[in-house]
């Protein structure tokens, strides 16, 4: 019940359009009832050969209800789908707004395929919440009240007969369907999610699956999930068929019951025989409103299961909370770290343990160390993907936590090892850094990153698509695009996180030249386990297990003969003197 109420509250801002669509749905069915009733009355009346003028009201009624039904049906479809798409848009925006603050800290335990399934399939399931769960019972209730009053005018027994079969069709059959399909909707949502997740993993890992000859095993897993999903769909199809048969039976029983009750009234002179067909066919056409009801509980179960999966994500508290209010203006762009300590979980060791250093504005600081030393954790803390537990980080003499996340990240450019390029054009990927940049700005940034000539050689230049994750480009070209993007952003602080990792030595040297141009005039923090080009750094910090074990310039650290010297020798395959 709690999930249902939360879902209602979520879509409540669009109640006006949903109410309008519901009223139009009622008017559509009511016009159908009116059309059948007046048509039956017209035919029955015409059989008595009265003057044509006596039939004019019925003739006008048939025309009116025939035209109004078409108009109301069109308007009902229009406003119902308009309301549905508005609700769907609201749910998507709501989910993304709740999801964004959770990245990356709170979403590490979720597989990407599972998140895609929740964003696409679960949100898509809620698309039908109004059309298939909320609207049909409301329309049916309004139709029941209207037709009950109409029949009661001619005979209360007729109205009560309609009420019995209407409730049997609208309540008893759906409850029976619910009992037969209990849990099936939830299983379908979960199985569909598992299948989508498996398919995403299969597509993303296609190369590894083929390389290790695991295609058969992966295919069996997909086949098993597909079979389970098809079995659930088959079960629901069978239940739908049974419910349709029951509904048809009850509708026909309702028609015959009203007919059998009305005939004695005609014989007793309490009812004019000309109304007999009108009452029976009018009551029969009113059951159009209950046709969607048998599957309401099934759709409700699916919707609630999908909503619970979405709420399970959105209810997670963000690790980092954005403070309201204006951000301070940094007095400078120096970075100061004092007594910094951080760990990812209370039962885990410190990833960063008591760091102290100062990076003056415009200087270059490199942080090196073996894998797991805490280097990338610093990038996460500087960008406030996580918040540190002890100590402080300040930018321009203001604590990082005093800045809003948007303002803080406006001051910082980042180039990482795994540059993400969207399946879009070169131009669109570059404009992520500065959407309003002009053509000359774009080209100048590409020239400084030494990639302009390559872009010009592409079939469509800057309008060439780079493929998903930029697979049409080499590793070096992707990194140069990342550098061009950072140049275009022109932020005062630059973070480089393993920006040349994975590149061959020649490409690495070429990219490093572009990186050094990018560093000019910027406060630069270089995170790397590669020691190429560090002789240009103003200071180097060597981390081990989250602590600074050595610090100094490149030559000084080599002369000390410590961890930095060992890393240098391993990288360059030198023999110690």
We report the CATH number of the domain holding residue 90 as 1.20.1560.10
Question: What is the per-residue pLDDT for 160?
Answer: 93
In which residue are the tokens 């360059």 written?
Answer: 572
Query: What does the alpha-carbon distance between residue 403 and residue 392 come to, in Å, rounded to a whole number?
Result: 13
What is the tally of structural domains in the chain? 1
Question: What is the per-residue pLDDT for 69?
Answer: 92
Torsion, CA 116, CA 121, CA 123, CA 129, rounded to 10 = -170
Question: What is the per-residue pLDDT for 139?
Answer: 92
Tell me whether residue 364 is exposed, middle or buried, using C-beta atoms within 10 angstroms of its C-beta: 0 to 12, 13 to 18, 19 or more: buried
Q: State which residues form the domain around 204.
A: 2-314
Quick one: which H or E segment has residue 151?
A: helix 135-154
Residue 253 lies in a domain: yes
Largest CA distance in the chain: 123
Residue 464 lies in a domain: no
Query: What does the alpha-carbon distance between residue 233 and residue 227 come to, in Å, rounded to a whole number?
Result: 10
Q: What count of Cα atoms within 13 Å lies in the side-chain half-sphere of residue 309?
A: 28
Question: What is the per-residue pLDDT for 28?
Answer: 93
Residue 95 lies in a domain: yes
Question: What is the per-residue pLDDT for 330?
Answer: 83
β-pairing, 493-497 with 523-528? parallel
Do residues 297 and 243 touch, judged by C-beta distance below 8 A? no
Query: What does the alpha-carbon distance between residue 539 and residue 358 come to, in Å, rounded to a whole number?
Result: 10
Residue 367 lies in a domain: no
| Integer angstrom CA distances of residue 299 from 90, 185, 431, 551 | 20, 7, 43, 64
Question: What is the per-residue pLDDT for 576?
Answer: 44
Residue 294 lies in a domain: yes
- In b/e form, how buried is each residue of 326-344, taking b as 16+ CB within 10 angstroms? ebeebeebbbbbeebebbe
Q: Is 459 helix (H, G, I), strand (E, B) or coil?
A: coil
Question: What is the per-residue pLDDT for 26?
Answer: 93
Residue 186 lies in a domain: yes
pLDDT in tens, the chain (577 residues): 788 888 888 888 888 888 999 999 999 999 999 998 899 888 888 877 787 777 788 888 889 999 999 999 999 999 988 888 888 888 888 888 888 777 776 666 666 666 776 777 778 778 778 888 888 999 999 999 999 999 999 889 999 999 999 999 888 888 887 787 777 767 877 787 778 777 777 776 777 777 777 778 888 888 888 888 888 888 888 887 888 888 889 999 998 998 899 889 888 888 888 888 889 898 999 998 988 888 888 788 888 888 888 888 888 877 787 777 778 888 888 889 899 988 887 888 888 888 899 989 888 898 888 877 777 788 888 888 888 888 889 988 888 888 888 888 888 888 877 778 888 888 898 888 888 888 888 888 888 877 888 888 888 888 888 887 777 888 778 888 888 888 888 888 888 887 776 666 776 676 777 777 777 778 888 888 778 778 888 888 988 888 888 888 888 888 888 888 888 888 776 544 4
Residue 31 lies in a domain: yes
Question: What is the per-residue pLDDT for 30?
Answer: 92
In which residue are the tokens 């419910």 written?
Answer: 243
Residue 238 lies in a domain: yes
């Amino acid at each position: 019940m709690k999930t249902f109420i939360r879902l209602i509250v979520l879509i409540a801002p669009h109640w006006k359009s949903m109410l309008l669509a519901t009223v139009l749905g009622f008017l559509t069915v009511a016009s159908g009832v009116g059309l059948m009733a007046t048509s039956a009355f017209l035919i029955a009346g015409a059989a008595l050969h009265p003057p044509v003028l006596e039939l004019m009201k019925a003739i006008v009624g048939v025309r009116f209800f025939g035209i109004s039904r078409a108009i109301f049906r069109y308007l009902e479809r229009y406003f119902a789908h308009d309301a549905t798409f508005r609700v769907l848009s609201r749910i998507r925006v709501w989910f993304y707004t709740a999801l964004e603050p959770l990245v990356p800290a709170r979403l590490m335990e979720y597989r990407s395929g599972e998140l895609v399934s929740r964003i696409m399939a679960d949100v898509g399931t809620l698309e039908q919440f109004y059309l298939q769960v909320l609207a049909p019972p409301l329309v049916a209730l309004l139709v029941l009240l209207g037709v009950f009053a109409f029949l009661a005018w001619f005979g209360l027994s007729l109205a009560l007969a309609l009420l019995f079969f209407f409730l049997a069709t609208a309540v008893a059959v759906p409850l029976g369907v619910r009992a037969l399909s209990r849990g099936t909707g939830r299983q379908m949502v979960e199985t569909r999610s598992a299948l989508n997740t498996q398919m995403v993993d299969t597509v993303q890992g296609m190369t590894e699956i083929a390389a290790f000859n695991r295609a058969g095993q992966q295919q069996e897993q997909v086949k098993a999930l597909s079979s389970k999903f098809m079995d659930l769909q088959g079960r629901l199809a069978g239940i739908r068929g049974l419910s349709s048969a029951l509904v048809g039976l009850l509708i026909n029983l309702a028609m015959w019951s009203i007919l059998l009750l009305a005939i004695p009234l005609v014989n007793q002179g309490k009812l004019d025989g000309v109304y007999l067909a009108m009452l029976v066919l009018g009551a029969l056409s009113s059951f159009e409103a209950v046709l969607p009801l048998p599957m309401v509980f099934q759709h409700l179960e699916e919707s609630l299961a999908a909503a619970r999966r979405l709420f399970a994500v959105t209810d997670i508290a963000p690790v980092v909370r954005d403070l309201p209010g204006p951000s301070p203006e940094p007095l400078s762009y120096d970075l100061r770290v004092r007594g910094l300590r951080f760990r990812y979980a209370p039962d885990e060791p410190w990833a960063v343990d008591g760091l102290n250093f100062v990076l003056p504005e415009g200087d270059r600081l490199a942080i090196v160390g073996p894998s797991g030393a805490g280097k990338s954790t610093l990038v996460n803390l500087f960008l406030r993907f996580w918040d540190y537990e002890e100590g402080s980080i300040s930018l321009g003499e203001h604590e990082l936590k005093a800045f809003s996340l948007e303002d803080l990240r406006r001051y910082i450019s980042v180039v990482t090892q795994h540059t993400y390029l969207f399946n879009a054009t070169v131009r669109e990927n570059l404009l992520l850094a500065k959407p309003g940049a002009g053509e000359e700005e774009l080209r100048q940034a590409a020239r400084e990153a030494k990639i302009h000539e390559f872009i010009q050689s592409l079939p469509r230049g800057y309008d060439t698509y780079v493929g998903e994750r930029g697979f049409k480009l080499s590793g070096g070209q992707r990194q140069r695009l990342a550098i061009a993007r950072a140049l275009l952003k022109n932020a005062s602080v630059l973070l480089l996180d393993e920006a040349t990792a994975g590149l061959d030595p020649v490409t690495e040297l070429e990219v490093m030249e572009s990186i050094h141009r990018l560093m000019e005039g910027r406060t630069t923090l270089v995170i790397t386990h590669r020691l190429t080009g560090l002789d240009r750094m103003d200071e180097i910090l060597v981390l081990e297990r989250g602590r600074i074990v050595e610090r100094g310039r490149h030559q000084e650290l080599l002369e000390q003969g410590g961890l930095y010297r060992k890393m240098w020798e391993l990288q360059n395959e030198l023999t110690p003197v």
